[in-house]
């Protein structure tokens, strides 16, 4: 009786509060859609509703952006379900098997998670978030009340507040009293870097699995505490496009279940019903596929959800009104109406099918736990001797993927590095089994080759973690039993203060972080160019050497860095080596602490520049000066030792005068590190590097103008014809010159993510550090027209120029900052190459 009375009181209180609830228009003081709402006002409205409708809404701040803006989640439910929200959350985890304290109740509400504004300048969806919040709690909306009897709705009103405010504040500064819908107007042409990305210019919609960004890491932590049955991700596309909603385009990953496929169709048909009634244009089954694992639709899909992308016409060029190519005016109010309709439609379909949704959701996880996933049931990482394994373990932990350890078992499996089935022994190996709740996600992230049903995909097609981290691994078809006991880490001994010197092995990006830290602390550091041994211990080239003399007052900083980065420090009593060169040899090089700069601004690809900025600022914790490309002619180059030119198209690289100044700086001892497109641009100038032409290209130059019937094409095949010359993020093995400082710590092979067909002629005067040979293709889609071109060429090189050097990295070594082994390559380019 008491429980029933309490429930009635809660319902009465929530109704009373809701009757007094202000709409966004009333709270903001202007009609929603008449102008953009700054993030702080969105936060204010959500805080207001959380107080006014506390019986049905809970507001959680789950994190904070780089610029200090709050990240929020709103939980909306019926009064009865709101009172037991924590029980619903725990029961949902029981459905997945991630919580095993007692059996799950399948008669539970479904959870629908709505994510808005992941791209800051796709602004309509945060406005929609306020409208959704109001209408779900509006007491006059009986339809919403019916939905909430079966569904708990989670709203993230703005995934990317920093990017949103960058765009919204700029737009407010350039728009007049009345918006000008002419797309030629300045309010339709956003300046560099635009509001799409976060503070560090990262695309947060490519970061779900990798969690390199603080916004993602904080969000996924909460996501794994709830594991929704449905996740909707709201975007905008070009302002001339019709609306897009699911079902998605091919390719679908093979792990996607029949129910996940068919339920998208059900939601899509319900969306179509409303769009048809309003005469709105839309399209489905095109462009937006379900393959790459780090999107806001695919990541939820691989975690058992119905994950969907919704794309409204707009983007920054739409401002709050824009004239389209049909002569119609698309307004912000239109954009809000469309996203609001699909948001409500999604909740409606889930509410009417809660039982089916819950049953299919539970089956997704039950099947993985009982039978494993895919051809390879277990993935074994045998390379656990270095702290490179720590980065992989962090990624697994962040994604709630379970792992154990195995030792001594003789097995047979697919060797990622040789691409052959081979026998191997597990010695303190890390084991990831697909017989677990996150078995599907584990399979997708580790699979050696991802199967493509259609090559016309939206993103990269290869990402196997052993290649990303450069770790020797095997894929095994059988289930392997492991132990939970972890491999013992490095034991930190107190550094003796009376040693001659101290050695630190160099084999991972964690060691690069240590080097950056001790250089920052003022410690004088050297590195060994060749292998050596001392006191019956072998040390590889690249080993860091810190002498006591000259560092007496700073040895505690070495100890602190070693502890922070899990590195062992070996004291030595003499500079005389048993084998190899002594500490005083010219083969042991002093590392000058470099002053590093990077070209940014107009011409730079904002995301490529952001990756480098984030690496230095948040990971290496090493200072980097960001120079606007337009200011290159005004730079005092004497204060800079290393200049990084990331992917982009730069005027100064083509300008003879500016290029001459840079070349003079290099000849006087400067170092340029050119990455990706910057390399290809330099290859068209007089920098000393040349693009390698394929045999087919050479043949074409020799041919006359006789007709070639192979050039005849059918219009209907135009899309797939272009794919023959396309590479969708494929993995290639690069053979390294392991004696060169650029290759220190990387091992014999390095795996690169190739996204174009650019390869370069071997240097005759210079160092061909990383080359690609005939059989170096590993995984991912490569078009038939260019596959033969990507061979017998240089991709990583050092070109001496006077007293300086130019380092060429043809592919982006730190793509989206999840390509972990490439971070070590870039650090080597900064700290070792040319010393």
Tell me what pLDDT residue 798 has: 98
Burial bucket for residue 655 (CB in 10 Å: 0-12, 13-18, 19+): middle
Spatial separation of the C-alpha atoms in residues 758 and 62, rounded to whole Å: 43
- Whether the Cβ atoms of residue 807 and residue 829 lie closer than 8 Å to each other: yes
Helical packing angle, 509-520 and 820-831, nearest 10°? 40
Tell me what pLDDT residue 709 has: 59
Spatial separation of the C-alpha atoms in residues 435 and 414, rounded to whole Å: 19
Cα→Cα distances 22→15, 102, 131, Å: 13, 42, 11
Tell me what pLDDT residue 18 has: 47
- Whether the Cβ atoms of residue 384 and residue 428 lie closer than 8 Å to each other: yes
Strand 429-433 to 378-381 pairing: antiparallel
Spatial separation of the C-alpha atoms in residues 683 and 677, rounded to whole Å: 10
Look up residue 604 and give its DSSP letter: B
Spatial separation of the C-alpha atoms in residues 26 and 630, rounded to whole Å: 46
Tell me what pLDDT residue 718 has: 60
Q: Residue 15 in 3-state DSSP?
A: helix
Q: What is the pTM of this model?
A: 0.95
- Whether the Cβ atoms of residue 426 and residue 468 lie closer than 8 Å to each other: no
Cα→Cα distances 762→237, 574, 759, 796, 828, Å: 42, 41, 10, 10, 21
| Both tokens assigned to 1 | 């009786």
3-state helix, strand, coil in the chain (%, to 5): 35, 20, 40
Spatial separation of the C-alpha atoms in residues 365 and 80, rounded to whole Å: 28
Spatial separation of the C-alpha atoms in residues 519 and 784, rounded to whole Å: 47
Tell me what pLDDT residue 324 has: 98
Question: Which residues on adjacent β-strands are paired with residue 735?
Answer: 749, 771
Tell me what pLDDT residue 466 has: 97
Q: Quick one: which of 75, 57, 76, 83 has its CA closest to 4?
A: 83
Length of the chain: 835
DSSP string, 691-756: BPPPHHHHHHHH--S---GGG---GGGHHHHHHTT-B-SEEEEEEE-TTSGGGTTS-SEEEEEE-S
Question: Which residues on adjacent β-strands are paired with residue 768?
Answer: 797
Helical packing angle, 354-371 and 258-278, nearest 10°? 150
Question: H-type helices in 194-331, by residue range?
Answer: 214-226, 258-278, 298-301
Spatial separation of the C-alpha atoms in residues 771 and 760, rounded to whole Å: 9
232 CB-near residues (< 8 Å, 6+ apart): 112, 113, 114, 115, 308, 310, 342, 343, 346
The three-point CA angle 118-819-641 to 5° equals: 100
- Whether the Cβ atoms of residue 134 and residue 15 lie closer than 8 Å to each other: no
Which regions of the chain are under pLDDT 50? 6-7, 18
Spatial separation of the C-alpha atoms in residues 29 and 12, rounded to whole Å: 29
Spatial separation of the C-alpha atoms in residues 452 and 373, rounded to whole Å: 17
CA dihedral for 547, 548, 551, 555, sign (positive or negative) = positive
Spatial separation of the C-alpha atoms in residues 569 and 572, rounded to whole Å: 10
Q: Residue 13 in 3-state DSSP?
A: helix
Q: Phi and psi for 411 in degrees, rounded to 5? A: -135, 175
| Both tokens assigned to 823 | 């971070």
E strands of 49-158, at which residues?
A: 57-64, 70-76, 110-116, 151-156
> Cis omega (within 30 of 0) on the bond before 247?
yes
Q: Phi and psi for 568 in degrees, rounded to 5? A: -95, 140
- Whether the Cβ atoms of residue 558 and residue 545 lie closer than 8 Å to each other: no
Cα→Cα distances 498→382, 495, 544, 561, Å: 37, 9, 18, 19
CA dihedral for 554, 560, 566, 569, sign (positive or negative) = positive
Secondary structure, 3-state, 629-679? HHHHHHCCHHHCCEEEECCECCHHHHCHHHHHHHHHHHHCCCEEEEECHHH
The three-point CA angle 351-353-356 to 5° equals: 135
């Amino acid at each position: 009786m008491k429980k029933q009375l309490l429930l009635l009181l809660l319902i009465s209180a929530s109704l009373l509060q809701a009757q007094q609830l202000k709409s966004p228009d009333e709270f903001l003081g202007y009609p929603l859609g008449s102008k953009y709402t700054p993030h702080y006002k969105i936060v204010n409205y959500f805080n207001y509703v959380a107080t006014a409708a506390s019986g049905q809404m809970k507001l959680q701040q789950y994190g904070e952006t780089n610029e200090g803006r709050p990240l929020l989640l709103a939980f909306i439910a019926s009064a009865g379900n709101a009172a037991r929200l924590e029980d619903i959350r725990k029961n949902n985890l029981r459905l997945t098997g991630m919580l095993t304290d007692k059996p799950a109740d399948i008669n539970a509400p479904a959870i629908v998670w709505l994510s808005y504004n992941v791209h800051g300048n796709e602004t309509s969806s945060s406005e929609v978030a306020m409208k959704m919040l109001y209408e779900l709690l509006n007491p006059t909306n009986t339809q919403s009340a019916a939905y909430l009897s079966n569904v708990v709705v989670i709203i993230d009103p703005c995934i990317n507040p920093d990017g949103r405010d960058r765009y919204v504040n700029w737009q407010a500064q350039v728009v007049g009293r009345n918006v000008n819908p002419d797309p030629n107007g300045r309010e339709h042409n956003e300046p560099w870097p635009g509001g799409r990305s976060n503070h560090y210019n990262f695309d947060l919609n490519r970061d779900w699995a990798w969690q390199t960004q603080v916004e993602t890491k904080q969000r996924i932590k909460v996501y794994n505490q709830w594991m929704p049955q449905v996740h909707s991700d709201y975007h905008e596309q070009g302002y001339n496009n019709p609306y897009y909603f699911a079902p998605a385009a091919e390719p679908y990953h093979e792990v996607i279940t029949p129910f996940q496929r068919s339920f998208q169709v059900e939601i899509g048909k319900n969306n179509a019903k409303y769009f048809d009634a309003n005469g709105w244009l839309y399209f489905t089954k095109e462009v937006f596929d379900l393959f790459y694992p780090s999107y806001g639709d695919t990541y939820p899909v691989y975690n058992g959800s119905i994950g969907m992308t919704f794309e409204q016409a707009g983007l920054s060029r739409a401002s709050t009104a824009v004239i389209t190519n049909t002569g119609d005016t698309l307004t912000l109010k239109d954009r809000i109406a469309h996203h609001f309709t699909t948001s409500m439609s999604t909740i409606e379909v889930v509410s009417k099918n809660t039982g089916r949704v819950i049953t299919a959701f539970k089956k997704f996880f039950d099947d993985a736990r009982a039978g494993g996933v895919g051809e390879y049931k277990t993935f074994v990482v045998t390379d656990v001797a270095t702290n490179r394994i720590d980065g992989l373990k962090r990624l697994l932990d962040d994604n709630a993927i379970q792992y154990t350890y195995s030792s001594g078992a003789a097995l047979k499996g697919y060797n990622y590095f040789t691409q052959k089935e081979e026998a191997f022994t597990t010695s303190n190996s890390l084991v990831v089994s697909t017989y677990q709740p996150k078995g599907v996600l584990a399979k997708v992230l580790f699979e050696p080759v991802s199967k493509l049903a259609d090559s016309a995909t939206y993103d990269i097609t290869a990402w196997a973690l052993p290649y990303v981290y450069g770790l020797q691994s095997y894929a095994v078809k059988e289930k392997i039993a492991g132990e939970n006991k972890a491999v013992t880490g490095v034991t930190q001994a107190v550094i003796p203060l009376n040693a001659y010197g101290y050695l630190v092995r160099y084999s991972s990006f964690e060691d690069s972080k240590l080097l950056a830290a001790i250089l920052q602390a003022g410690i004088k550091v050297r590195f060994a160019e060749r292998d050596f041994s001392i006191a019956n211990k072998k040390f590889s080239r690249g080993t860091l050497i810190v002498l006591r003399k000259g560092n007496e007052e700073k040895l505690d900083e070495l100890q602190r860095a070693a502890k922070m980065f899990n590195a062992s420090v070996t004291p030595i009593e003499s500079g005389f080596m048993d084998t190899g060169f002594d500490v005083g040899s010219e083969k042991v090089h002093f590392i000058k602490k470099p002053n590093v700069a990077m070209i940014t601004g107009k011409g730079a690809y904002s995301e490529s520049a952001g990756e480098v900025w984030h690496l230095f600022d948040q990971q290496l914790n090493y200072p980097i000066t960001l120079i606007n490309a337009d200011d290159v002619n005004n730079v005092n180059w004497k204060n800079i030792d290393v200049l990084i030119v990331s992917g982009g198209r730069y005027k100064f690289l083509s300008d003879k005068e500016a290029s001459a100044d840079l070349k003079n700086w290099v000849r006087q001892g400067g170092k340029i590190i050119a990455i990706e497109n910057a390399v290809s641009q330099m290859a068209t100038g007089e920098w000393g590097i040349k693009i390698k032409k394929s045999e087919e290209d050479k043949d074409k130059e020799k041919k006359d103008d006789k007709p070639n019937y192979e050039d005849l094409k059918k219009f209907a095949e135009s899309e797939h014809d272009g794919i023959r010359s396309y590479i969708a993020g494929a993995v290639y093995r690069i053979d390294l010159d392991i004696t060169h400082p650029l290759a220190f710590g990387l091992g014999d092979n390095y795996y690169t993510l190739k996204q174009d067909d650019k390869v370069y002629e071997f240097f005759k005067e210079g160092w061909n550090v990383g080359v690609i040979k005939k059989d170096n293709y590993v995984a991912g889609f490569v078009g038939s027209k260019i596959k033969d071109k990507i061979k017998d060429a240089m991709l990583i090189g050092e070109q001496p120029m006077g007293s300086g050097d130019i380092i060429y990295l043809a592919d982006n070594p730190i793509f989206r900052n999840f390509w972990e082994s490439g971070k070590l390559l870039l650090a080597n380019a900064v700290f070792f190459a040319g010393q």
